[in-house]
A and B are shown apart, each in its own frame.
Chain A
């Protein structure tokens, strides 16, 4: 691997260390929220909703940044991406993260992670809201600069059509385009759209907060919110998968190149991820019906390339690795586990993207069920695997029983944890409720029992996660110290 010890690798490793540490805090916050719902702790509603705001926003950002920085580290083998821009953007993003955390926690901002307009004007104070908007804009600008820098480098080398592998589709490919370039390009273009819509929205927030405008349209704001949030959440996986395409051949020994199916898959995914965002507004009956149909069609379409190209590709790579008698290695094993659980969450997402199903699952705990499946597990496990893939290039390996034990603990823990959400949805439990006590029927008791199950799952997960955190951070620390 030609990237060992480069600035991009070091920066990615620093970022993943930070992300793993922050995740311990954000995860603990989730655990405390569940204990409160279970009746073991008693948080007042303002604190509970402030914590869920922190939990959601922090996790959305850190598990976007880790795959982004890891993919840039691997991308730097092929593209002349700027290390100066990486460092400057990282500093800007870091400042933004600190600003967001301080404004939420000190300002007790309780508007939930996607800050649906006009809720922030009711649930925050003006000063903290301004500080928060500026901090989020800093994170957004940092991400935008990184996406534009990668795009600049790939367009310079391959052209836009080349970076999107269009030559493979029309049969005129002359230069080989590595899958990581294609997949990152898809992610980067989507992120430019996402950040642009987020920036328009936040500028409108700022204008209202400063008293320049009185109010703006709630439905328009909601569409912008999901254009921003939906793409951000999906592209986190896109960047992680870009790294997987790059990493897997090191273990299987079989190349994973861009071919017609891969090129088609990612061009379809590009369009499907964008239009699938309309599945977030199914329950707004006044929204033009065509967008609802588009949302459902493209949510279904998104599943096709994911399963027939990426998932099958991972399975084939792992299969070759296994049959090749190369012995156990944690990287392909973790990637296989993350992929299988991703399919479970993806199937749940396809069901929720079906309009009549959304009618009874929207804003129940089915929603956190599916995204905790592939965020709390798949993205986390992918980030761990890719971090260790980079560390492996620097001479680190770990023994089999330990990694399997860690993987078993976090897998069992997470299955228990997410099953509390899936069963909760079957019981009609709404999401984002500080307490279930006012709900009808047996929902108060069912809700608190499931919160307890969720907390027990999280403890099991943590028993696996804490040694993993220690191993990863200490190895990164030793590596970085050795290289300086």
Chain B
């Protein structure tokens, strides 16, 4: 899962760069074509519209496969209860089983927090909100190693130190 997420991040960044380059090329072409024949612009608009519709539809279809919600992730084989309390995380266990779907049941005792799971080399691989009065279920499959939980929803003056660790074995 970690490798896929890291690759996804890279690909998303590349696709953003490609979108930007594409937009600049479109801008260049549009600027060159207008003025001489206004009808050209409208033909161009139709091409752009169709390209956008196809691109966004494909993007949407592909994204649904990777939805992080529990109903898309299969049945968990272990559970971890995590509660956010300004400015710490309380976990019922700190050793989590490796290579099988584990559900993090996440809530908060006070304000909104964000549970962000980081690898020990500092890569964000999963997140879910911790909200008072609600339990969000995040299902992940993790390789053995040390992981960090950092707060990802601003929760007050100790937000940046609301970080804890857990082990996956």
Which residues of A are interface residues toward B (Cβ below 8 A)? Answer: 45-46, 49, 110, 112, 116-119, 122-123, 217-219, 222, 261, 283-286, 289, 292, 296-297, 300-301, 303-304, 307-309, 311-312, 315-316, 318-320, 322-324, 340, 343-344, 347-348, 350-351, 354-357, 359-364, 422, 426-428, 430-443, 446
8 smallest beta-carbon distances between A and B, as pairs: A441-B122, A319-B34, A323-B35, A356-B66, A428-B124, A347-B19, A315-B30, A441-B121
Candidate in A340, A356, A431 with the most chain B CB atoms within 10 angstroms:
A356
Contact with A along B112-151 (1 / 0, CB 8 A): 1010101111111111110111111110000000001011
Tell me if B30 and A441 are in contact (CB < 8 A): no
**Docked CA distance A292–B136 (Å):** 15
Chain A contacts for B53, CB-based, 8 A: 304
Q: How far is the CA of A245 from the CA of B86 in the complex (A)?
A: 48
B20 within 8 A of A: yes
Does B92 make an interface contact (CB < 8 A)? no
B28-49 with Cβ < 8 A to chain A: 30-36, 38, 41, 44-45, 48-49
Residues of B within 8 A of A307 (CB): 23, 48, 52
Q: Are A123 and B153 in contact (CB under 8 A)?
A: no
Are A359 and B30 interface neighbours, CB within 8 A? Answer: no
Q: Of all chain B residues, which has the CB nearest A357?
A: B12
6 A/B residue pairs, CB under 8 Å, sorted by A: A283-B136, A285-B137, A303-B52, A319-B34, A344-B20, A440-B148
The answer to whether A286 and B20 touch across the interface, beta carbons within 8 angstroms, is no
Please state if B127 and A441 are interface contacts (CB–CB under 8 Å).
no
State how many angstroms separate the Cβ of A347 from the closest Cβ of chain B: 4
Name the CB-closest residue of B to A318: B31
Assuming A119-B154, A323-B35, A363-B153, is B120 touching A283 (CB within 8 A)? no
CA distance A301 to B52 in the complex (A): 10
A285 and B160 contact, CB distance less than 8 A: no
> Given A351-B16, A440-B121, do A312 and B44 touch, yes or no (CB 8 Å)?
yes
**CB-CB under 8 A for A347 and B23, given A116-B153, A119-B112:** yes
CB distance from A355 to the nearest CB of B (A): 6
Q: A320's contact among B35, B158, B160, by CB below 8 Å, is which?
A: B35
Given A116-B111, A315-B34, A344-B20, CB of A300 within 8 Å of CB of B60: yes
Chain B residue with the shortest CB-CB distance to A427: B122
Q: State in angstroms the CA–CA spacing of A219 and B132 once bound together.
A: 9
Residues of A within 8 A of B126 (CB): 359-360
Please tell me if B5 contacts chain A, counting CB pairs below 8 Å: yes
Q: Which of A284, A289, A434 contacts B159 (CB 8 A)?
A: A434
Q: Are A360 and B9 in contact (CB under 8 A)?
A: yes
A347 CB contacts on chain B under 8 angstroms:
16, 19-20, 23
Verify A285–B121 contact, CB threshold 8 A: no
Q: Are A116 and B34 in contact (CB under 8 A)?
A: no
- Which of A322, A360, A441, A443 is within 8 Å of B5, CB to CB? A360
